[in-house]
Structure 1
Amino acid sequence: MSDKRSQHRITIGIILIAVGGLLFFNQMNLFRFGKIIGTWWPMILIAIGFLQLKSGNRGSAAILLIVGIFFQLNQLDIVGWNIWNLIWPLLIVFAGIYLLKGNGSVENKMIKANEDGDTIDVLALFSGSTSNVNSQVFNGGQITAIFGGADVDLSQAKSKLPEINLTVTALFGGADLRIGDDWRVQVQGTPIFGGIDDKRRSELNRSEEKPLLKINATVIFGGIEIK
């Protein structure tokens, strides 16, 4: 865990040094920093996508890489905005297929059992999703909200493992998580044009005897709220 934190701090430190240096040179009128940022800002999304991929979060990494690459191609005038005329209908078709697969249910509760315990796989796509997880052998999973909202109640969930990983992705959407007091929570992630709000009391994370719920968050034009 300490190695991952160190790598995270090193990455953020390098980014801060690079941005600070570019701002300094911009003030010295050595080059037009604003024009560079205006052209190459999608590379930030692509870089974060590769970091997510390295961490094993393939779902959020794919979203970041696809969005970042598309915006970068657009900034370089390789792909025009009219491609959205093709993308939006396909998104609607995909949403329809998903609803048919889920029997048209707006309320979504999907728990997949495996040999190690229970994992959740929640997808809110152009709709709202409400899930109550009561597993006593909870083993993490993933929550994805794309142009929709996911409300997941984990207050009754328990685990026999000391550490659980939960991947949460909010793309133009939001995710609300309710977590019981018998969990420690650690949030890792950098929101882009969005926010991550942890409303739990800080003293709940002090007991080392509680299992640790590690939330790997990706937020782009959305929000994640932890209660």
Structure 2
Amino acid sequence: MKNFKKSNNDGSIAFGFIILGIGIILLLRKVGVFIPSWVLTWPMILIVIGLFSVIKHEFKSFFGFLMLFLGTYFLARNSFDFDFGIGQYVWPLGLITLGLYLILQKKRENQVLDEIRTNWDAKFKTQKMHTGSAFSSTVEDAKIVDESGASDSTASGDKSGFTRTTGTSFADSLNIDAVFSGVNRRMMTKNFQGGKITAAFGGADLDLTQADFSGVVTIQVDIIFGGVKLIVPPHWDIRTEVSNIAAGLEDKRFFRDGGVDSSKVVVLKGTILFGGLEIKSY
């Protein structure tokens, strides 16, 4: 299977600079410093989102560059009267480009899933040759059970996994980006290791009721003009270290009589700007 380079930038630094810039602009405006009117226009929102996406993905984000182009074009046209003579073609070309991107992205996802299946099949055959045990494997269940009932590599700490189109994830860590979109994710791992959630003008629903872990895990939550709903088992110890700026944070869990389990601690870190984070349990 191909080796995919893991990004060294989780987006927190870029998100922090964006929040810092917005704060500085608002502060300067409050103290009477002149701020150009175009700084607070809607094309600037597209530019900010584009910058965030481009920096977060180390300048390899098609979506980020598309947002930058649209934001820059409309800013130049609306605020500086530069039309470049392409006004009537912007939206058709933008939709065509976006459509091609979605088609190619889906094709790439299918290729990755095929490679995962091929790699797993090869791995299972090797294990069977060395141990002589009978394995049953299906992608639907994403589970391997030997004759003694032992679980597969997901329980042994392997971070590999995949997410089905239904939103069910068998990975050990989170990596959710909801930008102008909605994401539903249900984690099935028994070795949950935390991760990150970014919601910008979008929403994310994360169901951890089927997940399990021991110790302390951290989830980085960055929300700007969006919302995140986190569904967790009622006995988990959820600790919030989130900065709220004109935002809401609600814990609506139903606590059991036994209290929380100190051996399962989830620390929520990050920033919420004009958004909301809701924690629930069944």
TM over 0.5: yes
Contact persistence 2:234–2:260 (CA under 8 A): no
1:151 corresponds, among 199, 205, 224, to 205
- Answer yes or no: is the 8 Å Cα contact 2:221–2:268 preserved in 1: yes
Aligned to 1:133, which of 181, 187, 195? 187
Match of 2:43 among 48, 68, 85: 85
Partner residue in 2 for 1:210 = 263
CA deviation after TM superposition for structure 1 residue 170, in Å: 1.2
> Is 2:37 aligned against 1:63?
no
Deviations 1:140-190 (A, max 9, x none): 00011100000010111111x311111111110000000013421111122
Q: Secondary structure at the match of 1:167?
A: strand
Question: Which letter does structure 2 place at the counterpart of 1:138?
Answer: F
- Among candidates 103, 106, 109, match of residue 103 of structure 1: 106
With 133-142 and 84-93 compared, the bigger mean Cα shift is at 84-93
**Sequence identity percentage:** 30
Of 161, 177, 189, the residue aligned with 2:242 is 189
Amino acid at match of 1:189: V
Of structures 1 and 2, the one scoring higher in RCO (CA 8 A, sep 6+) is 1
Structure 1 unmatched runs, 5+: 1-56
Alpha-carbon distance in 1 for matches of 2:211, 2:181: 24
Larger radius of gyration: 2
Residue correspondence of structure 1 range 11-90 to structure 2 within 5 A: 59-70=11-22, 72-73=24-25, 75=29, 76-77=33-34, 80-82=37-39, 85=43, 88=46
Question: Bigger CA drift: 63-72 or 181-190?
Answer: 63-72
Native 8 Å contact 2:190 2:211 kept in 1: yes
Give the aligned length.
165
Report SS of the residue matched to 1:64.
helix
The farther-off stretch of 127-136 and 92-101 is 92-101
Tell me how far apart the structure 1 counterparts of residues 38 and 260 of structure 2 sit (CA, whole Å).
51
